[in-house]
Amino acid sequence: MLGMLARYWWVLAVRGALAVLFGLAAFAWPGLTLALLILFFGAWVLVDGAFSLAAALSGAAPADHRWLLGLEGAAGIALGVLTYLAPENTAVVLLMFIAAWALVRGVLQIVAAVQLRKEIEGEWLLVVSGLASIAFAMILMLRPAVGALAVLWTIGGFAIAFGLMLIALAFRLRGRRLALA
């Protein structure tokens, strides 16, 4: 596996660079419409999925890992295509999933705090955390445009961090490849 990763280090570098570019675009142009940012996301997952699927189908990855890489690639391509077919639906569905998760999490944190109040000190922090999660869910549900921008900035930050880590890994693998040659 290390030999294959070292040989194709540049694929990781390209994936990382695309992730960083996507993340920077999310921060640089906050005035862009949500649909355009969703289309950038769709392009990123589509290209990333294509690279993963190509790596799986090329036979370069070990056979026992190929199916995972292929599944990752197929999922990325499918999500990219769905994003292009219905960008507005992608944005709304993503926001509602995040809102539902935050709401359930917040309620469960408050329930846990009530149940733990006799066993731990500082359970109020869990209540505050739960209330913050519920407030976040309400913002997403009641003001989806504001919530969407916050979520996209979070995704942008993740994309930059993820991309930088992939680039760092790629250059470490490049050095490993040169050492093996």
Query: DSSP secondary structure string, 39-64?
Result: HHHHHHHHHHHHHHHHHHHTT-S-HH
Q: What is the pLDDT of residue 168?
A: 93
User: What are the DSSP calls for 60-108, one per residue?
Assistant: -S-HHHHHHHHHHHHHHHHHHHHHHH-HHHHHHHHHHHHHHHHHHHHHH
Read off the pLDDT of each residue in 168-176 and give the average, rounded to a whole number.
87
On average, the pLDDT of the chain sits at: 84
C-alpha 105/C-alpha 92 separation (Å) is 20
Alpha-carbon span 52 to 56, nearest angstrom: 6
Tell me the per-residue pLDDT of 15-41, one tens digit each, with 9 for 90 and over. Answer: 999 999 988 988 887 656 566 667 777
Local confidence band at 96 (pLDDT 50, 70, 90 cut-offs): confident
Total number of domains constituting the chain = 1
The phi, psi pair for 121, rounded to 5°, reads -100, 150
**pLDDT tens sequence across 49-88:** 898 888 888 876 667 778 888 898 899 899 889 888 887 7
SS in 3 state form for 125-155? HHHHHHHHHHHHHHHHHHCHHHHHHHHHHHH
Domain containing 130: what range? Answer: 2-180
- How many CB atoms are closer than 10 A to CB 97? 11
* 95-153-33 Cα angle (round to 5): 70
pLDDT, position 115: 84
Cα atoms in the 13 Å half-sphere on the side-chain side of 159: 24
In 3D space, the residue among 79, 84, 58 whose CA is nearest the CA of residue 70 turns out to be: 58
Measure the CA angle with vertex 143, ends 140 and 147; round to 5°: 45
Phi, psi at 59, each rounded to 5°: 85, 5
